[in-house]
Amino acid sequence: MSEGTKAFIKGAKVIVPERTSTKPKGYRYPVAEEYFGEDAESRLNELVEQGLMERTFYQRELGCPKCGSINLIVRFYCPKCGSTHIVKGEVIEHWPCGYVGPESEFKDGKCPKCGKPLKKIGVDYSKPGPMFKCMECGEVFQNPADKLNCANCGEIFDKGDAKEVILYAYRITPKLEEELDVALAQRSYLIENLTKMGFNIENPENIYGRSGVKHYFYMVASRGTGILKLRIVIEILSAYKEVPVDEVFSLYAPSM
């Protein structure tokens, strides 16, 4: 496990998703991205597979059936012509001519269709209540059609066609937290004592051995310069049981 991964797991008790309009998926894990970058969710799932973190249900969302994004917008449409050019307001139904339209169209108390003045509610007109009117085809309706629009790819679809997207929360297990405490304490101990001996601690890195093969080491420390430079590499094996002898000897191979 890399030092970055250890630091992340140690510092992140619970990782939860956050909605955002800037990501194609419509959500992100900001804390994890500080350590793992754009591929944070994949790395979190890798840690789950390795038994280093637990994954639990967090939230169920509707997603785009085409791209899977949860960055969706609800838009209302005219059920007759499909236009989004609709207005909502109090509606008046003028009985003598049958015209139905928003109250705002009845200027000076006159019907915009026949021009007759409105007399009294219940006598020559009624107010059915708030309704919608399509400004393209003139249709008046109580319930507009609604569809979901994907802000990521532009797909337009019915709610029934939406994809189910499950968002998860990730948390470190108490047992692993204890193990990390030990591992980080070991590293601090090594750094402190090597520094006292005059060594400079280098970041874990890939180093070419005498055989020409590249190896990754837990810690690298060096002292001196030029031909007098002394460089040591450190690798640690940890296990619940005694580490087999052949595994211990296998640590010598990379240093050759």
114 assigned to some structural domain: yes
Residues 95 and 49 in one domain: no
Residues 84 and 190 in one domain: no
User: pLDDT category, 95, cuts 50, 70, 90?
Assistant: very high
223 assigned to some structural domain: yes
211 assigned to some structural domain: yes
Residues 191 and 205 in one domain: yes
Percent pLDDT > 70 in the chain is 80
192 assigned to some structural domain: yes
Average pLDDT over the chain, rounded to whole?
83
Kindly report, residue by residue over 11-23, the tens digit of the pLDDT.
566 889 999 999 9
Residues 215 and 230 in one domain: yes
Residues 25 and 38 in one domain: yes
Residues 83 and 51 in one domain: no
Residues 98 and 219 in one domain: no
156 assigned to some structural domain: no
pTM for the whole thing?
0.56
CA 147 to chain centre: 23
Residues 56 and 167 in one domain: yes
Q: Give the range of the structural domain holding residue 241, as residue numbers without chain letter.
A: 177-255
Residues 62 and 167 in one domain: yes
84 assigned to some structural domain: yes
User: pLDDT category, 251, cuts 50, 70, 90?
Assistant: low
Kindly report, residue by residue over 47-80, the tens digit of the pLDDT.
888 887 889 999 999 999 999 999 999 999 999 9
Highest-confidence segment of 81-85, 127-131, 200-204: 81-85
Count of domains observed in the chain: 3
User: pLDDT category, 224, cuts 50, 70, 90?
Assistant: confident
Residues 18 and 128 in one domain: no
User: Is 5 a residue whose pLDDT tops 80?
Assistant: no
111 assigned to some structural domain: yes
7 assigned to some structural domain: yes
- Which pLDDT belongs to residue 124? 93
